Amino acid sequence: MDNDEFRDWSRRAADWGVDYRAGLRDRPVRPAIAPGEIFRSIETSPPEMPEPMEKIFADFEAKIVPGMTHWQHPRFFAYFPANAAPVSVVAEYLVSAMAAQCMLWQTSPAATELEMRIVDWMRQALGLPEGFSGVIQDSASSATLAAVLTMRERALDWQGNKKGLAGQAKLRVYSSDQVHTSIDRAIWVAGIGEENLVRIPVAGRFRAMDTAALEAAIVADRNAGLLPAGIIACVGGTSIGGTDDVAAVAAVARRQGLYLHVDAAWAGSAMICPEYRHFWTGVEGADSIVFNPHKWLGAQFDCSIQFVRQPEDLVRTLAIKPEFLKTRGHDGIINYSEWSVPLGRRFRALKLWFLLRAHGLESLRNMIRNHVAWSEGLAARLAKEADFELVSEPMLSLFSFRHRATPGADLDEHNLRLVDAINADGRIYLTQTRVDGRVAIRFQTGQFESTAADVDAAFNVICECARSLAS
Ligand code: PLP
């Protein structure tokens, strides 16, 4: 591709992107395709000779786009959002064009220094005190893994990486059962072992860990010769928004000398609004916090910020410096690959810089406040319908509900059929969860371009689909 063609196709791609976003409401949120259809439509072997871009682009439109689930669709209410403000898409075009690998300061000085600044902007935006620095990771899963490795190393007096875990006292990590499975995976990958992730009983509307039980479990483990390493608290768990009392958990961590990691991957974005910060009161007592601007703030996927109290502990855990990665003459400079598991890293700060400048915090706050208000409104409307019950009250913009089955019918089966019917309809997209072992349907509002009318449309679709299942 020469420069003229590069210009031409870049323009066409940008035009296509604008038309795509503008026309999203006309598409079903989730494609109606069967597994294997797309795979079979792709040639079985790579081409030996160049193909014209016209044909490649035509195949993209014909074969790929109809097989996509549209995460930017204004009526995507499933999972958590991965919303991408148009301005962050523009920043990503530029990042793609430069295609820099930002592992060390000297491999992209501007990427490193902008990241330092933007992480601090976000610290201020979330109301976190000075003293936290941070890094932009690809995902909350990576950030949590980095945190678990750090708590492991601290507990093992920095001998785990060197000697392995054989012959060491058994490490123990504590959380509720409301945390995301990325915590389980971090525990597996860190070699701590699933049986050493101790689940603390929960109580209350937000299913917060019982902190007396937490402290008792830590003390009992220590007395039994086990090695408590850390606690993972959640603010806005994935299933129903489970939220720990972070201040009380932090007090236990402090008394017991344990590392505290807070997973606020989704709910963290809402902390730009001072009125929601009560959900994580005490968070300044954490050793690390993860939140994903790629979920609810509009920074295109992927973009996960890990704030850390003592970056030197993270670096001590993860840094490795062969000769070919040494940055001669720049001792003491930040090389962000030493703060994360992967060596190579994308330039992720640019999209946040563009986003925060083009929108300003106040308009992002308004977006989040609207999402919360619309979800609360929908929850209240559903609760008034005789055939529906709320399973969990809104936590920010997430709640769950259930349709009452006709007597004798299996309630779980009925609600799973309802989710399938809603998603087959295509106008909205929802996902299910289990609450106390029973199926519930989740609803969250978080799309950058959602409106109150989209949420109203969701009410109609849910009721219509439930009625047609019942008839
Ligand atoms: N933590 C919570 C509360 C989540 O909801 C999710 C994903 O939805 C994660 C962590 C994992 O996020 P990521 O996909 O960035 O690894």
Model confidence pLDDT, tens digit, residues 351-384: 999 999 999 999 999 999 999 999 999 999 999 9
Q: Report yes or no on 439 lying in a domain.
A: no
pLDDT tens digits, 14-23: 999 999 999 9
Ligand 1 atom nearest to 304, measured from its CA: 15
Is 434 domain-assigned?
no
For 418-463, give the secondary structure using H, E and C.
HHHHHHHHCCCECEEEEECCEEEEEEECCCCCCCHHHHHHHHHHHH
Residue 138 counted as domain residue: yes
Dihedrals phi, psi of 18, to nearest 5 degrees: -65, -45
CA 293–ligand 1 middle distance (angstroms): 11
**Mean pLDDT along residues 316-322:** 93
Q: What is the pLDDT of residues 64-102, one digit of tens each?
A: 999 999 999 999 999 999 999 999 999 999 999 999 999
Does ligand 1 lie within 6 Å of residue 433's CB atom?
no
- pLDDT-derived band at 118, boundaries 50, 70, 90: very high
Distance 263 CA to ligand 1 centre (A): 8
Domain boundaries, position 184: 101-346
Give domain status of residue 249, yes or no: yes
Distance CA 318, CA 151 (A): 12
Q: 268 to each of 26, 107, 292, how far by Cα in Å?
A: 31, 30, 7
Q: Is the pLDDT of residue 391 over 90?
A: yes
Ligand 1 atom closest to the Cα of residue 179 is 3
Task: Give yes or no for residue 175 CB within 6 A of ligand 1.
Answer: no
Tell me, using a 6 A CB cutoff, whether residue 92 lines ligand 1: no
Which residue has the least CA distance to atom 14 on ligand 1?
139
Instruction: Tell me how far apart the alpha carbons of residues 169 and 227 are, in angstroms, rounded to a whole number.
Output: 6
Which pLDDT value is given to residue 73?
98
The pTM assigned to this predicted structure is 0.96
pLDDT for position 409 = 86
Task: Tell which atom from ligand 1 comes closest to the C-alpha of 80.
Answer: 8
Residue 329 has pLDDT above 80, yes or no: no
Hey, what amino acid is at 275? E
140 C-beta closer than 6 A to ligand 1: yes
Give the ligand 1 atom nearest the CA of 267: 3
| CATH number, domain with residue 114 | 3.40.640.10
Identify the band that residue 328 occupies on the pLDDT scale cut at 50, 70 and 90. Answer: confident
User: What one-letter code names the amino acid at 409?
Assistant: A
Residue 64 in domain: no
Query: Domain count of the chain?
Result: 1
Q: Is the shortest distance between the CB of 265 and ligand 1 below 6 Å?
A: yes
375 in any annotated domain: no
Which of 238, 306, 341 has most ligand 1 atoms within 8 Å of its beta carbon, as the pocket-test mutant? 238
Is the CB of 239 inside a 6 Å radius of any atom of ligand 1? no
Question: Is 225 inside a domain boundary?
Answer: yes
Using one digit for the tens of pLDDT, what is the confidence trace for 196-228? 999 999 999 999 999 999 999 999 999 999 999
Helices (H), 140-291: 140-155, 160-163, 181-189, 211-223, 246-256
Work out the average pLDDT over 239-264.
98
pLDDT at 181 over 90: yes
Domain presence at residue 86: no
